[in-house]
Amino acid sequence: MRMGRNTHQKQSILNALTSLRGQHPTAEMVYERVSQTIPSLSRATVYRVLNGFAEHGDILQLHIPESGDRYDDVISPHYHLLCNVCKRVVDLAAPRLEEIPLPQNDISGCYITGIELMFLGICSECASKQ
């Protein structure tokens, strides 16, 4: 089967994300990595493809206020910690928590569709320097 240009680009972007596994890179970091192999690829394409993968559930997109979204090619359920010091996102080897009960939808007139959980703290690398 002949791979189209788009398929090839998508695969290269996914490969770049996989090569950064555990680092939870920003789209910019993925762009920098993939442009080492495909210098002609535009920043906009990388952002668009990453968001497309996330929408389809092929990768995780972690929303982090004021420091941009991060991406993770590991989609099995796991927790994340945002380091207060270096602002990196690291995987947290924590046991599964009890499910957090969602508030009743009708209390405030809001409609709740899900929950996003991010632990805050200090990563092991920063902790060892203190």
Would you tell me which residues interact with Zn ion (CB under 5 A)?
Answer: 72, 83, 85-86, 91, 123, 126
| Min dist. Cβ of residue 117 to Zn ion (A) | 12
Nearer to Zn ion, 83 or 118 (CB): 83
Residues sharing a CB contact under 8 Å with residue 35, sequence separation 6 or more, in sequence order: 41
| Min dist. Cβ of residue 55 to Zn ion (A) | 18
- Tokens 């602002």 map to which residue? 87
- Tokens 């927790």 map to which residue? 79
Q: 22 with 91: CB under 8 angstroms?
A: yes
| Min dist. Cβ of residue 6 to Zn ion (A) | 27
Nearer to Zn ion, 103 or 121 (CB): 121
| Min dist. Cβ of residue 122 to Zn ion (A) | 6
Nearer to Zn ion, 50 or 72 (CB): 72
Total Cβ atoms within 10 A of residue 55: 10
How many residues belong to the chain? Answer: 130
Return the H-helix or E-strand segment holding 124: helix 124-128
Nearer to Zn ion, 12 or 72 (CB): 72
